[in-house]
């Protein structure tokens, strides 16, 4: 390839010429001219000069509107597109207030540390005289007291607010007394378990602020979602004034839907295809990010891409990296520095990087698998083509029912609407844990429960009976001086972390559930493109020891579940099935693992290996099928048919609910020999449930119809991962 960088359309035509059979559809978003507006409430001259110093002399219409609303005292939600300048929607009112009231404080909350670091750089560039700093788990303990005392704006994340700031409220009293703004950036990231915890952390924060006499305004920014105002109110506890008319410049964007070819009855690995596209784009000179669905996939794609570039240009192979959770703080800062500085031409990342981190002028995005929602699809493609530049995104489908369904119906993605984002702060496990945290921070009264979910009183009384909470003078108090927050993992992975060691050096960390499934003896652990094989797994010390080895496979756990419905909540008849929403007791256990070939996902071996069982109470669906009437080319009747339907139901569930297949658990019970039918259980794979099963019940008719359509449309003769065989 020549040194001159080809334009986007030439690159797409190059791919079409080489691999046209893989391109299912190409969507194009036409460019849009910007609209500008001066705020009705004038910017302070000092603030206007700060903007001019970085080249901004006028505001987009939505930025000016958000500024006016915040200045008028409203809580504001901004839901405009990627790269629309939402950062100024909160920085401007915060800085305006800081100029007017020098003692005023602001708290910025971001879902990731990397995003906070990125926004800190922008803020310091805009307002170099304002005292601002990050305060997170990577902040040296020696620096924390100084930041608490001097910072006007603190950038942190909900984890740190939960673990370190709110439990030590007396050390922060001065900051909270002067707190005027709380910013919740990337609001759409707060869904499911994480979002449910954040909703209750916001109530803890508001409660302590009110005790100190402050009532901060809230400003939230979000990608376009179907229920922005509703989610804001669920998270913050009060309604917003919403700004949603995007006036920013938009460049032409292309979305190429890419289906890997079939070979020997199996579709080629999306990892290998994504790596090839990434390596080709980097070779062409495009700065590219490849999003993957898991940490393992990020490492696999990096390894393939490096191998592809090594024989062409070893220097290029060194200019791609991976970025994911589990790296040490030092490694993350090193990668971020190379990324933000433009040294890296390509990066593989999990979906955390889809958030509003400015990684420079990216030209292209590769998505290794459908990212789970239309909202995330647009977020990820929007990471490229900022400031009106033309850009391209490649969506590389995996061989599973959902993604193959979308490959046959590309219009559902290209023209579909963004989904709703749901939280469930009433989950009894989440709510009880957060109530204990609140009671530890300050005695909790009945009147204060008004802002919490309605079942809070019952849960407090239950915890009083068990001694987890005590009641004195009408107030609930946590009976220990030790904060319960340390035992509450707000991201749902469990409080216990396992540390990975290689030759005595810390390689990374894993949540307990992830360690049980991915770091058992003989498992392959991938880190920054290198392979390590687990030698020792120690539950007592929560440590894993690995050695670096080159192997041609990766490992995948096999999980078995047993379900016992405990109470029926609701039921309805759908076609030939009775669908019951139930509370359930679920017992899950890893029974073994598969070794799968790196390049085509072929199963090389299946190994029996038992890990400790895990039990939980949750919410799920009991689907009792009268008979199975499916394509007998692909499945046998009775038990095999029920098993096939189970795979299809779980595989297609994310097209109705904003979740991933791994957010759901499932199992089945076949009918007696000589009969058709059976029972399928699909459940929320989180203690207490998170609302997925309820949403699936409401969409059950369309859900079942899509299952039948998927099976009928698949061209295979005897079942494949695109229809009845589980690819997970």
Q: Give a three-class secondary structure readout of 578-609.
A: EEEEEEEEEEEEEEEEEEEECCCCCEEEEEEC
pLDDT band at 118 (very low <50, low <70, confident <90, very high): confident
Residue 382: φ, ψ to 5°: -75, -5
pLDDT band at 335 (very low <50, low <70, confident <90, very high): confident
> What does the pLDDT average to over 154-171?
96
- Look at strands 346-349 and 288-291 and give their pairing: parallel
- In 3D space, the residue among 339, 336, 348 whose CA is nearest the CA of residue 289 turns out to be 348
Q: What local confidence, expressed as pLDDT, does residue 359 receive?
A: 57
Report the alpha-carbon distance of residue 592 to residue 518 in Å, rounded. Answer: 11
What per-residue confidence (pLDDT) applies to 357? 57
pLDDT of residue 240: 98
- pLDDT, tens digit, 9 for 90 and up, residues 21-63: 999 999 998 899 999 999 999 999 999 999 999 999 999 999 9
Give mean pLDDT, residues 540-551.
Answer: 92
CA 168 vs. chain centroid, Å, equals 28
Q: pTM of this prediction?
A: 0.82
Q: How far apart are the first and last CA of the chain?
A: 38
Residue 254: predicted pLDDT: 95
Can you list the positions of beta strands (E) in 40-100? 59-60, 76-78
Using CA atoms, how far residue 345 sits from 270, 308, 311, 335, 491, in Å, is 21, 15, 17, 12, 31
Tell whether the model's pLDDT for residue 14 goes beyond 70. yes
Q: What is the mean pLDDT of residues 217-245?
A: 95
pLDDT at 340: 74
What mean pLDDT comes out for the span 620-640? Answer: 65
pLDDT tens figures, 275-306? 999 999 999 999 999 999 887 888 889 999 99
Whether residue 525 has pLDDT greater than 80: yes
Q: What's the rounded mean pLDDT across residues 635-645?
A: 65
Nearest Cα to Cα of residue 621 among 693, 561, 567, 679 = 693
Summarize the confidence of residues 176-193 as an average pLDDT: 94
Give the residue ranges of DSSP H helices in 227-313: 228-236, 270-284, 295-310
In contact, 304 and 346? CB cutoff 8 Å: no
Query: Mean pLDDT of all residues in the chain?
Result: 88
Cα–Cα distance, 158 to 165 (Å, whole number): 10
Q: Categorize the per-residue pLDDT at 632 as very low, low, confident or very high, splitting at 50, 70 and 90.
A: very low
pLDDT exceeds cutoff 50 at 3: no
- Say what the pLDDT of residue 294 is: 82
Q: Residues of 479-517 as b/e, b for ≥16 C-beta within 10 angstroms? A: eeeebbbeebbbebbeeeebbbebeeeebbbbbbbbbbb
| Residue 110 · residue 185 · CB < 8 Å | yes
CA distances from 627 to 187, 532, 679, 714 (A): 44, 47, 10, 21
- What is the number of alpha carbons within 13 Å of residue 541 lying toward its C-beta? 9
Residue-wise pLDDT tens digits, 577-593: 899 999 999 998 889 99
Going 11 to 15 to 17 to 21, the CA torsion angle's sign is: negative
Residue 1 above 60 pLDDT? no
Evaluate if residue 321 carries a pLDDT over 80. yes
What's the pLDDT tens digit per position in 444-458?
Answer: 999 999 889 999 999
Report the DSSP beta bridge partners of residue 377: none
Q: Which two tokens stand for residue 355?
A: 């958030």
Contact between residue 519 and residue 544 where contact means Cβ atoms under 8 Å apart? yes
Question: Strand pairing partners for 250?
Answer: 32
pLDDT tens string 494-517: 556 789 999 998 888 887 767 888
pLDDT for residue 635:
46
Mean pLDDT is lowest, of 35-44, 348-357, 611-620, 665-674, for 348-357
In 679-711, which positions are buried (b, 16+ CB within 10 angstroms) versus exposed (e)? bbbbbbbbbbbbbbbbbbbeebeebbebbeebb
Whole-number pLDDT of residue 4: 45
Residue range 308-327: average pLDDT?
Answer: 88
What confidence score (pLDDT) does residue 516 get? 82
């Amino acid at each position: 390839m020549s040194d001159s960088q080809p334009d986007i359309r030439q690159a797409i035509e190059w791919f079409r010429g080489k691999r046209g059979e893989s391109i299912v559809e190409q969507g194009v978003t036409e460019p849009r001219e910007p609209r500008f507006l001066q705020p009705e409430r004038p910017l302070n001259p000092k603030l206007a000069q700060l903007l001019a110093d970085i080249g901004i002399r006028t505001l987009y219409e939505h930025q000016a509107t958000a500024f006016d609303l915040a200045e008028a005292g409203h809580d504001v939600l901004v839901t405009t597109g990627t790269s629309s300048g939402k950062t100024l929607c909160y920085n401007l009112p915060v800085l305006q207030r800081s100029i007017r009231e020098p003692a005023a404080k602001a708290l910025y909350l971001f879902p990731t540390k990397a995003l906070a670091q990125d926004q800190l750089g922008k803020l310091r560039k805009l307002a170099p005289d304002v005292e601002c700093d990050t305060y997170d788990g990577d902040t040296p303990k020696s620096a924390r007291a100084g930041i608490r005392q001097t910072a006007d704006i603190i950038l942190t994340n909900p984890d740190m607010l939960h673990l370190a700031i709110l439990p030590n409220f007396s050390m922060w009293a001065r900051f909270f007394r002067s707190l005027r703004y709380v910013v919740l950036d990337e609001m759409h990231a707060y869904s499911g378990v994480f979002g449910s915890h954040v909703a209750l952390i916001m109530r803890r924060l508001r409660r302590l602020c009110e005790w100190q006499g402050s009532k901060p305004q809230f400003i939230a920014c979000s990608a376009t979602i179907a229920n922005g105002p509703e989610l804001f109110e669920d998270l913050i506890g009060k309604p917003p004034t919403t700004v949603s008319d995007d006036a920013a410049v938009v460049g032409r964007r292309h979305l190429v839907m890419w289906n890997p070819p079939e070979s020997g009855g199996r579709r080629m690995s999306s990892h290998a295809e994504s790596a090839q596209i990434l390596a080709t784009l980097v070779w062409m000179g495009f700065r590219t990010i490849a999003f993957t669905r898991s940490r393992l996939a990020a490492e696999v794609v990096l390894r393939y891409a490096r191998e592809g570039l090594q024989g062409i240009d070893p220097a290029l192979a060194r200019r791609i990296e991976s970025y994911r959770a589990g790296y040490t703080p030092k490694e993350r800062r090193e990668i971020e520095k190379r990324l933000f500085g433009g040294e890296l031409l390509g990066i593989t990342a999990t979906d955390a990087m889809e958030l509003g981190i400015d990684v420079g002028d990216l030209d292209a995005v590769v998505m290794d698998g459908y990212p789970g929602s239309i909202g995330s699809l647009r977020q990820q493609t929007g990471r490229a083509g900022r400031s009106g530049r033309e850009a391209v995104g490649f969506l590389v489908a995996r061989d599973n029912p959902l993604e193959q369904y979308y490959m046959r119906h590309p219009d559902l993605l290209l023209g579909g609407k963004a989904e709703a984002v749901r939280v469930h702060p009433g989950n009894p496990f989440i709510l009880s844990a957060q109530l204990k945290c609140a009671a530890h921070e300050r005695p909790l009264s009945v009147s204060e429960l008004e802002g919490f979910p309605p079942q809070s009183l019952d849960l407090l009384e239950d915890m009083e009976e068990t001694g987890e909470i005590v009641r004195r003078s009408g107030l609930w108090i946590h009976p220990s001086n030790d904060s319960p927050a340390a035992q509450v993992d707000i991201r749902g992975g469990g409080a216990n972390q396992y540390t990975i060691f290689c030759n005595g050096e810390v390689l990374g960390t894993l949540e307990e559930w992830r360690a049980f499934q991915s770091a058992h003896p003989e498992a392959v652990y991938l880190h920054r493109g290198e392979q390590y094989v687990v030698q020792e797994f120690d539950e007592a010390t929560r440590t894993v020891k690995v050695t670096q080895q080159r192997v041609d496979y990766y490992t995948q756990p096999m999980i078995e579940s047993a379900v016992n419905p405990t109470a029926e909540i609701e039921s309805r008849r759908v076609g030939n099935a009775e669908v019951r929403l139930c509370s359930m007791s679920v017992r899950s256990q890893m029974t073994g693992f598969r070794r799968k070939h790196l390049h085509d996902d072929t199963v090389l071996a299946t190994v029996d290996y038992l890990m400790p069982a895990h039990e939980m109470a949750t919410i799920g669906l009991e689907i009792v099928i009268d008979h199975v009437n499916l394509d007998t080319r692909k499945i046998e009747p009775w038990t095999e048919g029920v098993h096939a339907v189970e795979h299809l139901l779980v595989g297609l569930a994310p097209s109705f609910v904003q979740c991933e297949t791994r957010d759901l658990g499932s199992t089945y019970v076949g009918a007696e020999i000589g009969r058709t039918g059976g029972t399928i259980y699909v459940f929320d794979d989180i203690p207490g449930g998170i609302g997925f099963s309820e949403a699936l019940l409401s969409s059950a008719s369309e859900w079942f119809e899509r299952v039948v359509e998927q099976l009928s449309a698949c061209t295979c003769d005897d079942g494949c991962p695109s229809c009845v065989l589980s690819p997970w």
